Copies of this chain bind each other. A is one copy, B any other.
Amino acid sequence: MRAEILATGDEILGGALIDSNSAFLAEQLELLGLEVTRHHTVGDNLEELVAVLEEIGKRADMAVVTGGLGPTSDDLTAQAAAEAAGVSLVLDRQALDDIKGFFATRNREMTPSNRKQAMLPAGAIVLPNRIGTAPGFAIRMGRCWFYFMPGVPGEMRRMFKDQVVPHIRQVFDKELHPARVMTITTFGLPESEVGERVAQVEHLFRGIKLGLRAKFPEIQVKLYGRCDDRQQNPDPLSKAAAWVCDRLGHNLISDRGLSLPAVVGQLLKQKQATVAVAESCTGGLIAHMLTNVAGSSDYFLGAVVAYANQVKTNVLKVDPDIIESLGAVSEQVVEQMASGVRNLTGADFGLATSGIAGPAGGSREKPVGTVCIGLATGKGVISRRYRLFFGSREAHKTIFAAVALNRLRLGLLASHC
Contact = CB atoms under 8 A, between A and B. Distances in A.
> How many copies make up the complex?
2
A33 interface: no
A123 interface: no
A291 B286 CA distance: 13
Interface stretch (A139-147, A303-311, A379-387): A303-311
Nearest to A30: B14
A13 B39 contact: yes
A24 interface: yes
B11 A212 contact: yes
A62 interface: no
Contacts of A276: 311
Nearest to A222: B16
B27 A23 contact: no
A58 to B, nearest CB: 12
A290 B283 contact: yes
A310 to B, nearest CB: 7
A305 B305 contact: yes
A310 B304 contact: no
A284 interface: yes
Given A288-B285, A291-B284, A308 B304 contact: no
A68 to B, nearest CB: 15
A14 B36 contact: yes
A275 B40 CA distance: 48
A397 interface: yes
A30 B397 CA distance: 33
A43 interface: yes
Contacts of A125: none
Contacts of A15: 22-28, 30, 36
Contacts of A211: 10-11, 14, 16
B38 A48 contact: yes
Contacts of A154: 391
Interface stretch (A159-167, A293-301, A404-412): A293-301
Contacts of A283: 287-288, 290-292, 296, 300
Nearest to A393: B294
A20 B23 CA distance: 11
A360 interface: yes
Contact of A303 (B16, B38, B214, B305): B305
A42 interface: yes
B48 A37 contact: yes
B291 A345 contact: no
A302 B308 contact: yes
A360 B212 contact: no
A18 interface: yes
A37 B30 contact: no
B41 A39 contact: yes
Contacts of A417: none
27 contacts: A12-B39, A13-B37, A14-B36, A18-B18, A22-B41, A37-B48, A38-B42, A38-B48, A39-B40, A40-B41, A154-B391, A279-B287, A283-B287, A284-B288, A284-B303, A287-B288, A288-B397, A294-B359, A294-B360, A297-B307, A300-B308, A301-B307, A302-B315, A303-B307, A310-B346, A314-B344, A314-B345
Closest 6 CB pairs of A and B: A283-B291, A284-B287, A15-B26, A15-B27, A284-B284, A39-B41
